[in-house]
Amino acid sequence: MLLADDHVLVREGVRAILEKQRDIVVVGEASDGLQMVRQFRSLTPDVIIADIAMPNLSGIAAIRRLRQAGSTVGAIILSMHSTAKHVHDALHAGADGYLLKQSVSTELIEAIRVVASGHRYLSPGISDILVRNHAIEREPGVTAAPSSLDSLSPREREVLQLVVEGMTSATIAQLLHLSPSTVDTYRSRMMRKLGVGSIAELVRLAMQSGLSPHDE
């Protein structure tokens, strides 16, 4: 089990719950998305628990990167966010489970065992959100509005997350193992795709579309 969350107290609380179980072993912890990916590669856990809002790379983006690399590790999102968009984004990225932090003490152990056995687990509250959202989308004349960010590639979304967090091209390049000029190219391409003329407009549009800094 690998635990990824940028809040130390959350990691300590979850670890305390997990260590009471004989069949669950926490092999590592990560405080951001990039560290989570690196820890996974070195520790190869069976299941990952990840927060969405983390610095450097969100939990959703980190899971997406692992899936693109061919990993089938069980991945559970543990978040305070309960909007249909966050849940859809997580499942689309390849998450196998989604739980809310307020229900962690009662559901986490069950979710880990379900996901470890190869099945999907959604807490009841999350299932209700998806059912309601699906019902709204099926209403006559009602069409779900696509996100402005849907046209972006996974790598562009990773770069955009770091731009939203206020990082420079040099810092982003170092974190993602790219050249600064490549990062600038990604930023220009995103601005062109999204029809904005400045970085400030790019950040504003990203946040309006649900992409937020990790410290929310």
Q: Which of 5-9, 36-40, 204-208 has the lowest mean pLDDT?
A: 204-208
Q: Is 117 helix (H, G, I), strand (E, B) or coil?
A: coil
Beta bridge partners of 78: 99
Joined together, the tokens standing for residue 160 give: 């955009």
pLDDT at 86: 84
Q: What pLDDT shows up at residue 183? A: 92
Q: What is the model's pLDDT at position 203?
A: 86
Length of the chain in residues, anyone?
Answer: 216
Q: Which domains are seen in the chain, by residue range?
A: 2-137 (3.40.50.2300), 148-208 (1.10.10.10)
pLDDT at 35: 95
User: CA angle at residue 203 from 59 to 174, to 5 degrees?
Assistant: 55
Mean pLDDT for 83-88 is 82
Q: With 50 as the cut, is the pLDDT of residue 62 above it?
A: yes
pLDDT value at position 72? 94
The answer on pLDDT for 144 being more than 60 is no
Give the residue from 118, 117, 124, 67 showing the smallest Cα distance to 90: 67
In angstroms, the Cα distances linking 35 to 9, 133, 164, 216 are 18, 33, 19, 20
73 confidence band (pLDDT: 50, 70, 90):
very high
